[in-house]
Amino acid sequence: MTPPDFIPFGGDEVRPISFDEAQIVVLPLCYEHAASYGEGSQDGPLHLLNASAQLEGMDEETMTDWASLAIHTLPPVFPPGDPEAAIDQMRAAADRVLAQGKFLLSLGGDHAVSLGPIQAAAGRHPQIGVLQVDAHLDLRNEWNGSRHNHACIMRRVADDIGLPFVQVGIRSFSREEAQYVKAKGLAPFYAHEIAAISEASPGSGPENWIEQVVNSLPDQVYLTLDLDGLDPAVMPGTGTPEPGGLTYRQLIRLLQAVGRNRRVIAADINELAKIPGTRVSEFTAAKIAAKIFVYCT
């Protein structure tokens, strides 16, 4: 399958502006290395950008004209195959954006793309914490011969960068990861618990899981969104679709609450893998990107 040509986020709907004028910068990171199951996330950023050209410019919930925001899309980065060199390149690309005080949205790629931007954000905002939406803990110390594999991203955040983090939507992990969670006293928001809370107390009250997530975060937040955190009925186009994930509306309510109560410094969307013959996954991912602009910038 041939990836689409590069187009900026929103296509003709978004007014072209320079990097210097921009308040929001989109950074496509076309990287995939040693995928665990399904492949294709390397082209995910291009498919998302292509789908974004079909979005309407108005947000239906807030009546915000997100297309009028100062958005600049950088040319795609194609990191080398060596994981450490790739992460260094992605960190440098992210840091050039964050150094200018702009909001950064990185598009992956597999989940390993998050590490470079998180490193860059932590370097400029030492008090930052990470909100991870994901089906997987990603707490392995090594996977497929690398400590920088997509399955190790949050282990690097914890052990190497030393940032606090909150994990949401979790429903798949290894024995090693379960032992790490217990040893470190971590408290992931498991998908089955979210479902039970939502059914018992929909949308309000002290049992609201979204309120619990927000209260667990520091004032400054980096958001990393692995699309397999969503249920595959919503997001089938990802390398490791896991049943029982978040609904689209649950994710949007979470974005609203985090954006309203915390300062989101940067974000990424990763693990989009195009399914031939359907456009639902890339269009949904593009819609989520626009929601991040509306609620988190």
Q: Are 243 and 12 in contact (CB under 8 A)?
A: no
Range of weakest confidence among 38-42, 49-53, 99-103, 228-232 = 38-42
What is the per-residue pLDDT across 229-270, written as a single tens digit (0 to 9) for each? 999 999 999 999 999 999 999 999 999 999 999 999 999 999
Domains in the chain, ordered, with CATH? 11-296 (3.40.800.10)
CA angle 46, 248, 212 (to 5 degrees): 115
- 127, 166, 248 from 189: Cα distances, Å: 22, 8, 17
DSSP class of residue 34 equals: S
Q: Are 113 and 28 in contact (CB under 8 A)?
A: no
In this structure, is the dihedral angle defined by the CA atoms of residues 108, 111, 113 and 119, taken in order, positive or negative? positive
| pLDDT attached to residue 4 | 84
DSSP class of residue 217 equals: S
| pLDDT attached to residue 143 | 75
The overall average pLDDT reported for the chain is 93
DSSP 3-state assignment of 3? Answer: coil
pLDDT band at 277 (very low <50, low <70, confident <90, very high): very high
Model-level pTM? 0.94
Share of the chain above pLDDT 90, in %: 84
The closest of 116, 75, 76, 113 to 95, measured between CA atoms, is: 116
DSSP class of residue 258 equals: H
Structural tokens at position 252: 């949007």
Residue 146: how many other CB atoms lie within 10 Å = 16
Q: Is the pLDDT of residue 17 over 80?
A: yes
Tell me the C-alpha distance between 48 and 287, whole Å: 9
Q: Is the pLDDT of residue 205 over 70?
A: no
What is the per-residue pLDDT across 211-235, written as a single tens digit (0 to 9) for each? 999 999 999 999 999 999 999 999 9
Range of weakest confidence among 87-91, 175-179, 200-204, 286-290 = 200-204
Q: Pinpoint the alpha helices (H) of the chain.
A: 44-52, 83-98, 115-124, 153-156, 175-184, 191-200, 209-215, 248-261, 280-296
Distance separating the N- and C-terminal Cα atoms of the chain: 34
Please list the residues that pair with 269 across neighbouring strands. 107, 225
| pLDDT attached to residue 40 | 76
DSSP 3-state assignment of 18? Answer: coil
DSSP 56-122: -SB-TTT--BGGGS-EEEPPPB---SSHHHHHHHHHHHHHHHHTTT-EEEEEESSGGGGHHHHHHHH
How far out from the chain centre does Cα 181 lie?
21
| pLDDT attached to residue 206 | 40
Amino acid at site 66: W
pLDDT band at 35 (very low <50, low <70, confident <90, very high): low
Structural tokens at position 258: 């985090």
CA angle 109, 56, 114 (to 5 degrees): 20
